[in-house]
Amino acid sequence: MKKIFIIVVLLAAAGGAGYVLTKKQPDVSQQTNSNSNPPPAIPSPEGMDDSMESVNPPVTPVNPAPTPPAAPSLPPAGGPVQDDMGDVDVAPPKVFNITGRNFSFSQSELKVKKGDRVIINFESTDGFHDWSISEFSVHTDRVGAGQKSSVEFVADKTGTFEYYCSVSSHRAAGMVGKLIVE
């Protein structure tokens, strides 16, 4: 009984070992392949000397770096130039489109700021009228129904001023409005 048991154990062991060996072989070959890679890496340390030498030259480029800080100072210099342009010439005028008829204006109150350039685009829709304001010595042409006339002036003083139609007794008839300069 013992002999048979031992034989069975040996056969099983041999079969198991053979199975393990066949399974391991491919693994071993793969490991050897991966192990063969490191050797080529050995020459790289020799290349290290070359790379080390090349590292030294880059030290000089580091000095030019301080120049960029000088660049940021330039944009502030450009800023004031834009401000000068914006303040003087670019301020848009205040434009009002007003119509007149017997006997009123389409708007009875206009508001602007002192120093504003004011443009009045006046059109008569009914009758013969104009748009006048004595304090600024300006008025549009007198125009009939369907006709237009414009006038431009600078509101160079503050206050509330009456604009009116200067034709006949239209002002007394109520063809008036208020220009408020703040």
* Pair type for strands 159-164 and 176-181: antiparallel
In 73-161, where does DSSP find H-type helix?
A: 74-88
Nearer to Cu ion, 35 or 169 (CB): 169
Q: Which of 118, 133, 143, 167 binds Cu ion (CB under 5 A)?
A: 167
Q: Which residues pair with 60 in a beta bridge?
A: none
Q: Which of 112, 120, 165, 179 binds Cu ion (CB under 5 A)?
A: 165
CA–CA dist 157, 138 (Å, integer)? 14
Q: Which of 133, 170, 177, 181 binds Cu ion (CB under 5 A)?
A: 170
Q: What is the DSSP letter of 113?
A: -
Per the structure block, which two tokens stand in for 80? 């004031």
Nearer to Cu ion, 133 or 165 (CB): 165
Residues 100-139 that bind Cu ion (CB under 5 A): 129
Site of interaction with Cu ion (CB under 5 A): 129, 165, 167, 170, 175
